[in-house]
Amino acid sequence: MKILNYTFALLLLTACCLLLIPACRDEGFTTDSDDVLKFTTDTLAFDTVFTQVGSTTEFFKIVNPHNQNIQTDIMLAGGESSQFRMNVDGISGSSFSDITIEAEDSLYVFVEVTVNPDDNTQPFILEDSILFQTNGNQQKVLLTAYGQNAVFFNNIEICDTTLRDDLPYVFYNVVYVPEDCELNIEEGVRIHMHRNARFLVEGTLNINGRVDSMVTFQGDRLEQFFDDKPAQWFAIELLRGSQANVNYAHLKNGIYGFLMGSILTSDFDIGDFTAENAPFLYLNNSIIENCFLSGISGFLSAAIGTNSLIHTCGENNLQTSFGGAYGFTHCTFANYGGTVNHRDPIISVSNAIEVPIDENTLQVITAPTDLSFQNCIIYGIESEELAIAPQLEGGDAISYLFENCLLRTERNIDTLTFVDCIKNPDPADTLFVDRIERDYRLHPLSPAIDLGSNSVDFPPLDFDERMRPNGERPDVGCFEFYEE
């Protein structure tokens, strides 16, 4: 009996030991001082960030290359006062203890930065680091960002004001130039539009850039990722009765470049839109590029353009609707797609709209339309880059003239509306220096060379402020060809 009791006790003790083994055994964490972490970068760098505007999120990975789990303590060196913010594996904070990274596994660290304003006018450098304490070793990943102070306009009316090139300007929500007010923007000014901001002009806008110091409009995200992303901001909106005198402006990455012809109130009648209150745009020596929809979109509006380049738009480079008057001389309209899909013609013209009479009835009404293109290039990858709506019976006329232009079209150009134009030159790839790189200066073999008329009133200097020939035929488009 004693033997049986002894045997039973021994078996019971053995079973208990077996049950306790998982709870008491080594969890497999390496504590070897030679075992350290690896990182996918040693420096996490941010592009320029405006004061008060959060950056995009950057990240790196912590890698455990060992065949055992490893533990580490993680700390933002600047602590709670740092302008950088850290998120480790989905949890925000400035310090973390005993973070486990399983054998041969990794986890993510996400970082953002917000820059506090000071009195610097030039970009400045922000630095911090993330520290890792592992098995008695300290490792770190450096954090660097360029900060830039700015002048912020937020829900503001601007009247009889001049913006100068001291600091960049960031527009938030609504920035409005009322009727009978004037906004002057001097050379070199950089205007950054926050997403969903509206820049409304009902008075007069004067943009006074220079060839080597253009006025720029773009989004307020300055990271390299956003360099060529369209739809970062809405448009310069020229309301009815407004006027814009634009010299050497560069508009990029908007939904539109200029959106013309709207009215502020929602309580309006179609009779409120007249040729007398049409907004007027004088566009000279300017670039509009990479718009999600149209470079210029006008509703019963008026525009005169010279020496300007409009390229890479998702819908039309120029869209006119419900009449208006538009004239362009020595302009280049190019669209080969790339950052936006190019499916619609470069030029789209219509003078008819549908107006509801009652719940069940729509009435088509028209307005007179007058367009002229002289010494221009209109070229892209679509076989037809001119969409001109047909004349509606009994409606107002669409009058247009293309004179000494190089075109991509399937239209018959042996008509009175096309004077000394050529279409679809072969080979087309000698038209520009490098359309892939968006260099729309003329190739040495370009068919645009000497195609222009010297009988039109053309600007004596091209976009680059080089002389056009006096008394000879100029090149078409905004650039005159010069041998380098």
Q: What is the pLDDT of residues 227-275, one digit of tens each?
A: 999 999 999 999 999 999 999 999 999 999 999 999 988 778 888 999 9
DSSP label of 467: B
Cα–chain-centroid distance for residue 437?
A: 17
CB atoms within 10 A of CB 27: 8
pLDDT at position 25 is 37
pLDDT band at 23 (very low <50, low <70, confident <90, very high): very low
User: Which of 202-206, 219-223, 349-353 is least confident?
Assistant: 219-223
The percent of residues above 70 in pLDDT, for the chain, comes to 94
Dihedral of alpha carbons 398, 404, 409, 410, sign: positive
Parts of the chain belonging to CATH 2.60.40.2310: 38-147
At the second CATH level, the architecture of 38-147 is Sandwich (2.60)
Cα angle 381-386-390, degrees, rounded to a multiple of 5: 150
pLDDT in tens, 91-122: 999 999 999 999 999 999 999 998 877 767 77
**In contact, 191 and 235? CB cutoff 8 Å:** no
Structure tokens at 85: 């913010």
Identity of the highest mean pLDDT range in 8-22, 119-133, 142-156, 403-417: 403-417
Task: Average the pLDDT over 300-305 and give the result.
Answer: 98
Q: What tens digit of pLDDT does each residue of 347-400 get?
A: 999 999 988 887 788 889 999 999 999 999 999 999 999 999 998 888 899 999
How confident is the model at residue 477, as a pLDDT? 98
Is 329:375 a contact under the CB 8 Å cutoff? Answer: yes
**Mean of per-residue pLDDT scores for the chain:** 91
CA distance 375 to 448: 9
Dump pLDDT digits (tens) for 449-476: 999 999 888 899 999 999 999 888 999 9
Phi, psi values for residue 39, rounded to 5°: -130, 150
Q: Specify the domain boundaries for CATH 2.160.20 within the chain.
A: 150-442
Burial 123-157 (b: 16+ CB within 10 A, else e): eeebebbbbbebbeeebebebebbbbbbebbeeee
* 6 has a pLDDT exceeding 50: no
pLDDT of residue 27: 59
- pLDDT reported for residue 9: 45
Q: In the predicted model, what is the mean pLDDT of residues 8-19? A: 45
> Check: CATH 2.60.40 for 150-442?
no
Structure confidence at residue 192 (pLDDT): 95
| The pair of three-digit structure tokens given for residue 166, joined into one six-digit string | 């001291």
